[in-house]
Amino acid sequence: MKVNIQAVGFNADVKLEDFVNNRVNKLLKLDDDVTSVEVFLRAEKPSVVENKEVEIKFNIPGGDIFAQKQSKTFEEAVDLAADALKRQITKRKEKLRGK
């Protein structure tokens, strides 16, 4: 599946895009229902240390899951957002099994 990565206000290098793709693809193995993935990378105010913001949205029939995290580096923010999404996917699967 194609992961739509949008860097807002800067050009993301190939290394960063590969990192994001690898993390997202690991999450996609947990849930087969995902129809598309959108990732937004933003560099906020340069005066703030934790100015790298990442938003990841998984489009899933019946309700999307979303995580937004800020950190010093994009890689760290992607890891934090991926961990949050993993918890949401696990919770969603447990809820579906319980029905």
pLDDT at 48: 67
pLDDT at 44: 79
- The predicted model scores a pTM of 0.89
Flag whether pLDDT at 36 surpasses 70. yes
Give the start-to-end residue ranges of the domains of the chain: 3-98
pLDDT at 99: 59
Model confidence pLDDT, tens digit, residues 73-85: 999 999 999 999 9
Q: Are 4 and 37 in contact (CB under 8 A)?
A: yes
Q: Per-residue b/e over 50-85, b at no fewer than 16 CB within 10 Å?
A: eebbbbbbbebeeeebebebbbeebbebbbbbbebb
CATH number of this structure's domain 3-98, picked from the four choices 1.20.1640.10, 3.10.180.10, 1.10.357.10, 3.30.160.100? 3.30.160.100
pLDDT at 50: 76
